[in-house]
Amino acid sequence: MSYTNDTFDDPSPDYNAAVSRSNTSTTGSSGYLSHYRSQSFDDFHPRNDDLTNIRRLPRAQSALSSKHERYEYAYSLLAGGAQIQFIVSVQPNHGTPTSGKYTISLSLKVDKMTRSLGEPIQLKLSVDPRRLHFIVFLFPGKTSLPVGALYSYRVWLRVNDVDHRLFGQDDLWIAKDPDFASIADASIARMKKNQSNSQMYESTVGKARVQFIVRWLRVAEDMYDYTMEYDCSGVGAMLFEDLRLKVDGDPRTVTFHIYTVPMKSLPIGASHRLRVWMRTFCGTSDTASLSIPYNDSYIYQRIWKSDSLKIGGHLDFSALGSKMIVGHSLGSPTTVTTATATSKKRVGQPHPQDANDHVEIG
């Protein structure tokens, strides 16, 4: 059975069937009720006398007693043979569960690793954020390689029998031990180093030896920022630098499956598809995947892709034809020296260093 975008965006999906395929472990929730009435803050308002007393408290004492809360709703699902959790986080912008603006975010947890899905959204809530009901479900995606690894996900919020769609994308790639061997002509990078804050993978891309370097920086107790770059014969570039992961344990247990697939191009072997999958161990030991790296099951998630990696060794540019006009060198490069003057940054005018430094390979 195929699913179209119209099917996914149906404003009235069959929630009963969808919910039956997922289990919720939400704290403070009693399940999905067909006639559930969300409690508003009118049900929890203190007396006017209490409010008067609160307003009369000294400012210093109010600052000391302030706190910030966040409410996480967890839902368990099975995708591609992998047991996963969707976590919906509800955080009041003002720190406490009162009527006002809230930041809603979605995360995917696999074993001991958690990553964000999509961008957080802002909602105004006048109902109790500790008694919300979300509807979370997956649909199999279109035909894909590896088979059975592509899904569409949807997250809806149900309040007083009215449903609001919060999150939804059609490109969630995840599976347990997918068949990467089914991808023809794929060149798979092999891990060469797994150090305390980096990993190095090596592959052959268009007859050129390429190294892919993954680095991570600890930014909180269990939070890490990941980057990946490539290097080939002394030339390289950053591929991505915006992957933030929460890892409960040794970050070296999170490894990557990197491969390229050649595309039709002239000269032959100059253009490639690049795919990066994250791999986490299916087990209970933090060190098991370090000691036995190829003898267990893993859950794979595709986290990045590019169809514009253009690199190759010994390319035959004469294949472009006789109409090609070739430039000829005029000798050694000319050295140009410029003086750098210190200047004040004008308000509203971006500094050159503030510009987007994303490197697009092409």
- Reported as a single tens digit per residue, the pLDDT across 216-246 is 999 999 999 999 999 999 999 999 998 999 9
* The pairing of beta strand 208-218 with beta strand 121-125: unpaired
Q: Is 125 exposed, middle or buried (0-12, 13-18, 19+ CB in 10 A)?
A: buried
- Residue 133 CA neighbour count, 13 Å, CB half: 18
- Band (356; pLDDT cuts 50, 70, 90): very low
- Band (17; pLDDT cuts 50, 70, 90): very low
Q: Cα(157)–Cα(105) distance, rounded to whole angstroms?
A: 12
Residue 157, strand partner residues = 134, 164
Helix (H) or strand (E) holding 5: helix 5-8
Q: Which amino acid is located at 224 in the chain?
A: Y
pLDDT at 71: 96
Contact, 175 vs 149, CB < 8 A? yes
pLDDT at 121: 97
Place of tokens 């804050």: 197
Q: Cα(110)–Cα(95) distance, rounded to whole angstroms?
A: 28
pLDDT at 254: 95
Q: Cis ω on the peptide bond leading into residue 267 (within 30° of 0)? A: yes
pLDDT at 296: 77
Token duo for residue 144: 């894909």
Question: pLDDT tens, 297-344?
Answer: 899 999 999 999 999 999 999 999 999 999 999 999 999 999 987 655
pLDDT at 41: 53
Q: Is the pLDDT of residue 3 over 90?
A: no
Window from 16-30, 146-160, 177-191, 295-309 with minimum mean pLDDT? 16-30
pLDDT at 344: 57
Contact, 90 vs 71, CB < 8 A? yes
Sheet harboring 150-159: ordered strands across?
133-140, 150-159, 162-176, 298-310, 271-281, 255-262, 187-188
What is the mean pLDDT of the segment spanning 79-99? 93
Determine phi and psi for 165, rounding to 5 degrees. Answer: -80, 130
- Band (283; pLDDT cuts 50, 70, 90): low
pLDDT at 303: 96
Q: Is the pLDDT of residue 5 over 50?
A: no
Q: Cis ω on the peptide bond leading into residue 262 (within 30° of 0)? A: no
Residue 71, strand partner residues = 90
The angle at the Cα of 113, spanning 107 to 114, to the nearest 5 degrees, equals: 15
pTM of the model: 0.73
